Amino acid sequence: MIASSKWQMIKPVLILNLSILVLMILASFWVWQQVPADARLPVHWNISGEVDRFGSKFEGLFMIPLVTLGIMALLLLVPVIEPRRQHIWRSIKAYRVILIGIILLMAFLHFVLLIAALGQTVNVGRLVTLGVGILFILIGNYLGKVRSNFFLGIRTPWTLSSERAWNKTHRLGGWLYVILGFIIVINGIFWGATRAFIVLISGVVLFSLIPAVYSYFVWKSDPDKQTRGT
């Protein structure tokens, strides 16, 4: 169970996230009344920003709120089941900011879908890439403040067995995430969703590989690293 003092550390985040979720659900109910009962709503867009799948009213209006609810439940569960839970509490500021950022992104995406459900023309691809880019910038600014754990951060066998590898890798990863976020935002503004999406996918692969490789070399040079086997 979460101690009372620690509960107070995450209580404001839970209240904020719950408030955002309630607004999302209320907005969904309002849109529900505005569209026909048998309406098929856009629920997926391709790389060019064109709708390529339609779904039921329930899927189109309530799927993202349900996913958001799952994320909020995870927020409560992680500090209880995380083996290095003390590190979560030491990282609580970064933990709160990153999770709020994720919830805000989900809410942003949801309201974009609601606008589309009402038949309004909206550049979903561009807005989504802009939202994701901003989230990367936010995460990058706080990634270096996250202490080693099995839930949040750049988790490789080397970062999880070396405090030095964890700290150095996350400082590097933080800078890379900020850079990637700005690249995604700039591409989304000036060159549209298709190019921004390609940059996003390739950037995530590259900027995930670099810290992973880097973490190995830092781990290898750490005299205090943990090892297993012979």
| 3 state SS of 45 | strand
Query: Which of 73, 62, 58, 75 lies closest to 110, judged by CA?
Result: 62
State how far the Cα of 78 lies from the Cα of 43, in Å rounded to an integer.
Answer: 30
Per the DSSP assignment, residues forming a β-bridge with 42 are 54
Per-residue pLDDT of the chain (230 residues; tens, 9 = 90+): 566 677 777 788 888 999 999 999 999 999 999 998 888 888 887 776 677 888 889 999 999 999 999 988 887 788 888 888 888 888 888 888 988 999 999 999 999 999 989 988 888 878 888 899 999 999 999 999 999 999 888 999 999 999 999 999 999 999 999 999 999 888 878 877 777 778 888 888 998 899 999 999 999 998 877 775 43
